[in-house]
């Protein structure tokens, strides 16, 4: 039996933390290293962490000043000593056979990474997370990345277990981000030789509208994140999976249209948007991509010159506050 490191970032979630920790300690797979990273909680979460650690020596608690979820997860990655590794958000919980089933699927199929389905937990009801049509499947890295951008669950990091060696040179971005998993997961999945997907709903993903994902005041940061991840990911995939280049470009151009219509922009993010638009148009022309993709990219370039500037003008006062 190989040791599994479970990394749990914690920040002011005292209401949900006991259920999370109980679900981990109650696993049918016993060889666990539970790394609980308390990111400067001030609601009693830190005491809960310490009490659980005192009762079970598989738990190691690290208390640090608040530095953001990405830093907490990186601390866990630095400390992890297991052969396999997984993440669990401190306000979520898992089925008792979560680790056992994931490890069994990984080892039986001689895979590097395994992904399971999940359940969305709302305040008054639960919903299966299988809208992405979870079935038992196996992929090469190239096959998995080919559907990565169209299947949003591929970019999740908390419904996966992987060989720890995949994380050796990969860390979350240290800056405070709204979508820090987007800067991380594709590098892990893209480095795996074999990936397994199982249909079992083993992870319970709690939906909390008060959480950072839904905070309106972070919408401008989300714009910056979205633009940066598009540019960074395109370069990485272009280098590692050149056969997917036109597919990624087509997807990114579509996303850029969506951003221009729906996201708030500052002056600095407008400049990034313009730079990426120009780069993608040049890519289409140089590589002789089909006329439809080139046209859509050109429309994107023209769109931001017309309506985009008018829309941004309306937000000018807000934008200046964030410069």
> What does the pLDDT look like over 295-305, one tens digit per residue?
777 666 665 44
pLDDT at 312: 45
Answer yes or no: are the C-beta atoms of 173 and 228 closer than 8 Å: no
Computed over every residue of the chain, the mean pLDDT equals: 86
pLDDT over threshold 90, residue 221:
no
CA distance readout (Å), 147 to 54, 151, 230, 247: 44, 6, 16, 10
Q: In the chain, what is the greatest distance between 2 CA atoms, to the nearest angstrom?
A: 64
Percent of the chain clearing pLDDT 70 (strictly above): 86
Mean pLDDT, residues 148-155 taken together: 84
Percent of the chain clearing pLDDT 90 (strictly above): 54
pLDDT at 265: 80
- Range from 125-134, 146-155, 280-289 carrying the lowest mean pLDDT: 125-134
Model confidence at 176, pLDDT cuts 50, 70, 90, reads: low
| Cα–chain center distance at 198 | 19
Task: Cite the beta strand spans of 151-270 per DSSP E.
Answer: 160-163, 194-206
pTM of the full structure: 0.87
Mean pLDDT, residues 120-131 taken together: 82
Q: Is the dihedral of CA 63, 66, 70, 71 positive or negative?
A: negative
Model confidence at 315, pLDDT cuts 50, 70, 90, reads: very low
pLDDT over threshold 80, residue 71:
yes
Beta bridge partners of 115: 160, 197
Mean pLDDT, residues 38-56 taken together: 97
Angle CA 89–94–95, to nearest 5: 175
SS3 content of the chain, % helix, strand, coil (to 5): 50, 20, 30
Q: Which two tokens stand for residue 57?
A: 């020596």
Mean pLDDT, residues 18-29 taken together: 98
Angle separating helix axes 245-262 and 267-286, nearest 10 degrees: 150
């Amino acid at each position: 039996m190989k040791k599994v490191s479970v990394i749990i970032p914690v920040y002011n979630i005292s209401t949900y933390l006991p259920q999370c920790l109980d679900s981990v300690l109650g696993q049918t797979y016993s060889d666990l290293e539970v790394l609980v990273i308390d990111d400067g909680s001030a609601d009693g979460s830190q005491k809960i962490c310490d009490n659980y650690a005192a009762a079970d020596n598989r738990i190691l608690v690290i208390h640090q000043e608040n530095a953001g979820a990405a830093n907490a997860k990186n601390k866990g990655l630095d400390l992890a000593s297991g052969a396999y590794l997984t993440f669990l958000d401190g306000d979520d919980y898992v089925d008792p056979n979560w680790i056992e089933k994931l490890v069994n699927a990984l080892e039986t199929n001689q895979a590097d990474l395994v992904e399971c389905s999940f359940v969305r937990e709302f305040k008054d009801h639960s919903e299966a997370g299988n809208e992405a049509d979870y079935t038992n499947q196996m992929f090469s890295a190239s096959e998995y990345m080919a559907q990565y951008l169209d299947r949003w669950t591929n970019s999740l990091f908390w419904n996966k277990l992987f060989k720890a060696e995949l994380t050796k040179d990969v860390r979350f971005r240290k800056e405070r981000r709204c979508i820090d998993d987007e800067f991380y997961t594709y590098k892990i999945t893209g480095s795996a030789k074999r990936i397994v997907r199982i249909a079992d709903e083993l992870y319970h993903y709690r939906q909390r509208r008060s959480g950072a994902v839904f905070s309106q005041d972070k919408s401008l940061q989300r714009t910056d994140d979205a633009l940066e991840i598009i540019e960074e990911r395109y370069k990485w995939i272009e280098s590692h999976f050149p056969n997917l280049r036109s597919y990624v470009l087509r997807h990114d151009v579509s996303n850029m249209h969506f951003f221009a219509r729906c996201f708030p922009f500052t002056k600095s993010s407008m400049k990034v948007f313009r730079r990426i638009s120009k780069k993608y148009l040049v890519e289409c022309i140089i590589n002789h991509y089909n006329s439809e993709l080139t046209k859509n990219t050109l429309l994107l370039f023209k769109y931001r010159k017309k309506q985009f500037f008018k829309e941004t003008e309306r937000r000018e006062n807000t934008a200046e506050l964030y410069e």
